[in-house]
Structure 1
Amino acid sequence: MLKKNILLCVTGGIASYKACALTSKLTQQGAEVRVIMTESATEFVSPLTFQALSRNPVYTNTFDEKDPSKIAHIDLADWADIVIIAPATANIIGKIANGIADDMLTTTILATKADIYIAPAMNVHMYEHPAVIKNMQMLVEFGYHFIEPGAGYLACGWVGKGRLEEPEKIIEIIKKHQSRNKLLIGKNVLITAGPTREKVDPVRFFTNRSTGKMGYALAEAAQEMGANVTLVSGPVNIQLPHPNINLISVTTAEEMFEAVINEYSMQDIVIKAAAVADYRPKVIFDEKMKKQDTNLQIEMERTKDILKTLGSTKTDQFLVGFAAETNEPLAYGKDKLRKKNLDAIVINNVSLEGAGFGSDTNIVTYINKDLTEQSLPKASKLDVANEILRLIIRDMKDERV
């Protein structure tokens, strides 16, 4: 069931007829549905249709105040638990992304604090246009959720991506997202991501192959589950997945150590996914080293072991480490779990295709301190992140029993 106040926003496209079925199915799920239509949408479907299906008045005009005691678009914005824009045209996506509020729909969207789901529907070439892509990326940064269109035969005659997702699938996606939203509400989660860089001279440094994709996926998944997320990140080329994530940017292992220690006491869950340098140059040169005719030797010294320090000082935190291995990964991972006093460890064999640094997918094994193993098959790093967090939540609940 989806017993929520749902504001359905319908824009002008041939897919508007699917919004009728969506309205009906939402009410069958127990939702209280109110509908806003753009002027263009009324050219495809009559407001009376949505009024009959939702059993509520339909809003089409900002200046049509149905109740003199209330400002309609503000009242609707405050009333809604969830906002769905379906179908969402390229026009409406562009307006919202750029803060344009010139009708009932856009003024309400800008005023609401509800979760907003956008289900685009348009010609395949419009969907792939750089301006549309940029506007959608901007809305994702604002915290809006997209329900991707399906691929197939489009009303314009083209075959490709751009067909409004089916009403049943839209509801399924929203229900899944809403249920996930509750899992970490009120929890403080700290995640480390990316590599560190250890300076040799003004132009050279030691680093590793980590891109930060797994750590950023964990931060995105934790934020989607309602957590207060702090992301301590080494230098990466990844956009912050959500503006509400507290990003602390660092470069060296020492800087990451200091940042994590400063935040540690306030956290409920700490996931150390960063690939931190174990060694750094003992001497850092102020000037660029010149090429010599002889071989070069650089003496290295150990960096501070962040995970071991966290394990030895933890109180109530649930501490999770990562182990990127190439040889006997489970054996080395279990040893790390024990030696560093972890509550769980995520192990991946980075020599496998589709796993490890730089890949958009991952293959991992999650092991908790009771040595219960859960193998997660190859999947996108965001899907893997969601599964890791679910296992952490499961183990935290078991600890309290």
Structure 2
Amino acid sequence: MVAVPVQPPRQAAPLSAEDQLKFQEMTMQLLDRTLRDMDEHDADPRSHDKQDPRVWKRIHHKEHFTTYTRCDDAPEAAYVAADGGRSTTSRPSKDVVLGMGFVQCPLSELMYGVFMGNSQAMALKSAVVDKNIGNGAVLKELLGPTEEDPFRFLALKWIEVRPPRGVSGKLVAPREVMFLGGTGTMRRRGTGDFIGYEVHHSIDHPAFPPVDGLRRTRIVIGSIYRERPNGTVDLFIKSYSMEADMGSILGPLAMAHAAKCIEQVWTVPDFAYAKKLWWCIDHRVHSNNAKALQAKLAKRCASCDKSVTTIWKSRAAYRICNLCKAPLCSNCRVKKDLYEIDPYFRARKFPVRICPPCREFVKLLDAKEIQRQEMLRPQSAEAVNPLTPSTLDVLAHNFSLDNSFCTASMESLCMMDSPRARSDSVKTDLLH
């Protein structure tokens, strides 16, 4: 029998326009507070792994990312209040967890990975990235994406929080969080920096009562992702624990747990690549070229030209690229694990195999343009046939997609004259 996950709260009353405006103001105040905190750190520039030891105690260091908590003897730090600003009441310094570092990827790639526009996306990200999170749901959308900022999103969200590893459920009761989750990009007026942001601010509202058997807890997290000219993105993440009920024994463990949750941002670029690969498979977009088609006709590996006649007769589905259908030998196949979500919001892992040209093709796709198509111009995947010899005359046109090694897929070329395909021509913008 299938075990049904904990269900999110049901809306018991409507949200007024005043409530929605208040939620937007809270989000902007938290974003402003996080930007000010980042500016304070920029005033005394230090490497992410060399913060002032008199103020910050290192929790963990992982390659290009380091997490800290405030030292017990450091000056008390004001915490983020319910309105997103600074409270006049000081909180214990250990309530704050700071994460700093950088990742090697474009900002659009990172934002594509952190974006969660529906409950299915939340379940997918929880299974791959945020493994400390149980079930999750988007309760109500407040702001949606725009053409200029396809990553803009603000919604009331809910998650089930799993206890830290090594802590019994008898010591820490099962918990839930209802919060405002916001993402987006912007250019700062003062500095001119192009940044992405992600803010989480827990709220309580009678429209969404607590779930039976779960204790509602509070979190406040502000994340700033700053794009650099060298192709990296600076990470500045500040997490505030709004409850001090873990006790003196479990307190340090709770801080370590919070730090581990913050560190998951390190895996987001790889998650974004998997999302792009899944989108390409779903929409039949790939780097097919004449060489791949010739290799299929000759039954030779499209990458190394090794004969695949013998292995082609058995398990042929495992010997071809899942994108362009080109034959591949065992040495040239690139394996990647993807996930899909079932009706019970459980993730199922399955492997795919792609050729090296398709792997590079997916890497070069513009995540921002894919996001625009997914959120603003959604299209169902077209049912098309795999490559056949009859497409040789079509591929002879060598329709270029701004990459020297890439040409349009057979499916895109064959549909060019259809009315639906004319609206789909925006796919060529993906590589701009």
TM over 0.5: no
* TM-score, length-scaled by structure 1: 0.25
* TM-score, length-scaled by structure 2: 0.24
